[in-house]
């Protein structure tokens, strides 16, 4: 083998070594990319799970608030109904008292008229 052949062989060996290094570098980069993609997928999954849990928590809070509002509203309705019934009963009682007083007044007037007719007769 000549000096020139040895030199060319050395150059080829260097090129092969450089290509091996580039292949190894590319493999390492691809592995890093795969790892990063896995981490991104994990983060996205955690974000989705967290969002779902937040949604569940918010729905539970909203349900509790809705139930509380419904209970408060029902209590207000019951209180208003009781007040209306009490006011109605009070007004009805007052009307009955006025009617009773009118009847008594008319009865007294009628009684006086009958007594006057008896005395006149």
Please write the tens of the pLDDT for every residue from 25-53: 999 999 999 999 999 999 999 999 999 99
Pair (32, 59) in one structural domain: no
Q: Is residue 113 part of a domain?
A: yes
Identify the band that residue 1 occupies on the pLDDT scale cut at 50, 70 and 90.
low
Identify the band that residue 110 occupies on the pLDDT scale cut at 50, 70 and 90.
very high
Q: Is residue 121 part of a domain?
A: yes
* Cβ-Cβ contacts under 8 Å for 1 (sequence gap 6 or more): 9
Report the run of H or E that residue 55 belongs to, with start and end. Answer: helix 3-120
Mean pLDDT of the chain: 93
Pair (35, 69) in one structural domain: no
Structurally, the chain folds into a number of domains equal to 2
pLDDT in tens, 50-80: 999 999 999 999 999 999 999 999 999 999 9
Pair (31, 86) in one structural domain: no
Pair (65, 22) in one structural domain: no
Pair (70, 106) in one structural domain: yes
Q: Which two tokens stand for residue 51?
A: 């969002």
Is the model's pLDDT at 3 over the cut of 90?
A: no
Range of the domain at 32: 1-40
Q: Is residue 118 part of a domain?
A: yes
Q: Is residue 81 part of a domain?
A: yes
Pair (66, 120) in one structural domain: yes
Burial of 53 (0-12, 13-18, 19+ CB in 10 A): exposed
Q: Is residue 46 part of a domain?
A: no
Task: Print burial letters for 72-106: b (CB count within 10 Å at least 16), e (below 16).
Answer: eeeeeeeeeeeeeeeeeeeeeeeeeeeeeeeeeee
Pair (60, 102) in one structural domain: yes
Pair (87, 31) in one structural domain: no
Pair (36, 3) in one structural domain: yes
Q: Which pLDDT score is estimated for 72? A: 98
Pair (60, 104) in one structural domain: yes
Q: Which pLDDT score is estimated for 12? A: 75
* Number of other CB atoms surrounding residue 69 within 10 Å: 10
């Amino acid at each position: 083998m000549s000096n020139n052949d040895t030199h060319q062989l050395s150059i080829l060996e260097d090129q092969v070594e450089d290509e091996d290094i580039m292949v190894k570098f590319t493999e390492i980069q691809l592995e890093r990319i795969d790892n990063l993609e896995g981490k991104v997928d994990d983060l996205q999954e955690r974000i989705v799970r967290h969002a779902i849990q937040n949604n569940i928590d918010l729905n539970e809070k909203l349900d509790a608030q809705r139930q509380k509002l419904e209970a408060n509203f029902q209590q207000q309705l019951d209180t208003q109904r009781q007040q209306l019934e009490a006011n109605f009963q009070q007004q009805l009682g007052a009307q009955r008292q006025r009617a009773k007083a009118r009847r008594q007044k008319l009865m007294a007037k009628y009684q006086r008229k009958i007594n006057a007719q008896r005395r006149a007769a």
